[in-house]
Amino acid sequence: MKQTNRTVEYLLEASEFNWEVKPGKTISAWGFNQQVPGPVLKAKQGDTLVVKLVNNLPEATMIHWHGIRLQATMDGTGEVQKPIEPGETFEYRFELPDAGTFWYHSHQNETVQMERGMYGGIVVEAENDPVLDNDRILLIDDMKLDENNDFKTDKALGRWMERHDGRQGSTCLINGKEAQTLHMHAGQMERWRIVNAASARYFKLSLDGKPFKVIATDGGLLEAPRTETELLITPGERYDIVVGPFKEWEVFHFETLAYNRMTFGKSKRQNYATVHVIESIPSIASLPERLTEIPDLAPRNAAVNRKVKMSVNPSLKHGLDFKVNGEMHCNDEPVFVGDLQVWEISNTSMMDHPFHLHGFFFQILEENGEAPQYKAWKDTYNLKPKSNIKIAWMPDNRPGRWMYHCHILEHHAAGMMANFEVIDRNAPVLPRQNHFHCHA
């Protein structure tokens, strides 16, 4: 649905700066354009996004455009580009084929760079978006700081626990701010686009038990709104919800409930922001019962053509190794353009892992042998301990190097990831590598 073919340009400067997370609490952040999160990039479906990145950090970086179905060369990973060194500039340019809520983040030394604030939201609007009174994007994060508000570095046991649990801190942020108040008018219905940008935090959304409607996820609108009072949002995932209308002067929390993902650190309920409902104003919102059509990529009983195994194993060297198909930093076999992929992904470990596929959306066909409750386009999906999912995805004509990984940044860094090539059979180029050393 390309109406305009506009080109939308942004300049992002990555640098180190002081960021006030709340009055009197300032951190030394790394981020884009001296703000955490970086600026929201806004465009319409079909537009071309051009982002010029200037790196003024003390180390190399690059940006990944999480959820955007772009060309492999623009994916912003070490597979497809050289890190952008301090003082260098790189121009990303790609079309936006899908409407929805996406995000961008550093894909270099992520456990440090993302923790310090190198991420931001992307909103791509569509002509058939439901009309609501207000649209906001809320990026969830948490930081682990010491008593001087420096990024905390653990020793021995703490380090080992952080490797196991992922890095989670008690400075809870919405759009880079701690314990803030959000205001919204009574009588209104708002679209809240929620992105979990945290390193490892599982966010189980609750608005003090008030019902809200889930209308979209990673790859855009659901077929119909779903009323919920709780919603688990794992690192990398997006959910758009519609809230309201509320009554004048209501006050409620935007908080996470406890979610036990089998970490050493105990999960607890934590407040992220407080919502104050102010005076009533007229509404123009209308939320249809039917939002879109999601065609099935494959029948539920489609034959599996690849198995992917995520595991955690004891190791003499690191204490624990995080693996895909028995290897750290696995190099998986290629797939061919146009060949429907039906993958069985299993998590053999005793903890949760959010599986993320770069550049393509998948559909869940089954989870532990059961059909999913509703249809959705996903790029990130949580695997519970000792569980498996069966997914379908289509490698369309975007050959090149891609990857999938656990979106808990410490697990990704510790090896729970794989690269693979998408090959166009009709192209005269040979794959860059043909040595694949991991098979399930």
Type of residue numbered 54? V
Residue 418 near residue 438 (C-beta atoms within 8 A): yes
d(CA 40, CA 420): 30
Q: Is 406 in the site for Cu ion (CB under 5 A)?
A: yes
CB of 183 to ligand C2O, least distance (A): 30
Query: Is the C-alpha dihedral spanning 407, 413, 418, 420 positive or negative?
Result: positive
Q: Is 353 in the site for Cu ion (CB under 5 A)?
A: yes
Complex with ligand C2O: residue 107 or 163, whichever CB lies closer: 107
d(CA 224, CA 210): 19
Q: Is 323 in the site for Cu ion (CB under 5 A)?
A: no
Quick one: what does residue 356 bind among ligand C2O, Cu ion, none, with the CB cut-off 5 to 8 Å set by partner type?
ligand C2O
Q: What residues line the site for ligand C2O (CB under 6 A)? A: 64, 66, 105, 107, 236, 356, 358, 405, 407
Q: Is 213 in the site for Cu ion (CB under 5 A)?
A: no
| Among the residue ranges 194-202, 297-305, 353-361, 420-428, the one whose residues contact Cu ion (CB under 5 A) | 353-361
Complex with Cu ion: residue 121 or 354, whichever CB lies closer: 354
Type of residue numbered 403? M
Q: Is 411 in the site for Cu ion (CB under 5 A)?
A: yes
CB of 223 to ligand C2O, least distance (A): 25
Copy the structure tokens of residue 397: 């004509």
CB of 107 to ligand C2O, least distance (A): 6
Tell me how far apart the terminal alpha carbons of the chain are, to the nearest angstrom.
39
Q: Say which residue the tokens 């194993």 belong to.
A: 313
CB of 20 to ligand C2O, least distance (A): 26
Cβ-based neighbours of 434, under 8 Å, separated by 6 or more: none
Copy the structure tokens of residue 363: 């559909």
Quick one: what does residue 406 bind among Cu ion, ligand C2O, none, with the CB cut-off 5 to 8 Å set by partner type?
Cu ion
Phi, psi dihedral angles at 191 (to 5 degrees): -95, 120
Query: Is the C-alpha dihedral spanning 51, 55, 60, 61 positive or negative?
Result: negative
CB of 395 to Cu ion, least distance (A): 24
Complex with ligand C2O: residue 185 or 193, whichever CB lies closer: 193
Phi, psi dihedral angles at 410 (to 5 degrees): -70, -30
Using CB under 5 A, pick the residue from 408, 413, 414, 418 that binds Cu ion: 408
Quick one: what does residue 353 bind among Cu ion, ligand C2O, none, with the CB cut-off 5 to 8 Å set by partner type?
Cu ion
Strands 231-233 and 319-324: what pairing? unpaired
CB of 114 to ligand C2O, least distance (A): 9
Quick one: what does residue 66 bind among Cu ion, ligand C2O, none, with the CB cut-off 5 to 8 Å set by partner type?
ligand C2O
Q: Is 51 in the site for Cu ion (CB under 5 A)?
A: no
Max CA pair span of the chain? 65
Complex with ligand C2O: residue 144 or 358, whichever CB lies closer: 358
Residue 84 near residue 12 (C-beta atoms within 8 A): no
Neighbours of 56 (CB within 10 A): 13
Which residues of this chain interact with Cu ion, rule CB under 5 A? 353, 406, 408, 411
